[in-house]
Amino acid sequence: MLGLGIALGVAALGVGIGQGIAASSALGGIARQPEAAGKIQTAMLIALAFMELVFLLTFVSALILQAKVTPGA
């Protein structure tokens, strides 16, 4: 169970940093070129979605592992 917590924490840390970098670059881009805001937003959303997928994979693995670890479940 401790391993699950650590795995989720590390995954959240990594995804948080990655998404922060992506969002900050996108915001910087929008600030420099406000007319390109729509395109940048679309690209940013796609990038964020792919980054989030990594965390969700960890989350689903954690759920599966939890079902294995929990007795009687």
Instruction: Establish if 64 lies at the interface with other proteins (CB under 8 A).
Output: no
Residue 27 backbone zone (phi > 0: left; psi -120 to 50: alpha; other: beta): alpha
DSSP reduced 3-state for 72:
coil
Contacting residue, 60, 64, 65, 68, with other proteins by CB under 8 A: 60
Angstrom distance (rounded) from CA 27 to CA 19: 12
For other proteins, give the closer residue by CB, 27 or 49: 49
Q: At closest approach, how far in Å is the CB of 15 from other proteins?
A: 12
Under rule CB under 8 A, residue 34 binds other proteins: no
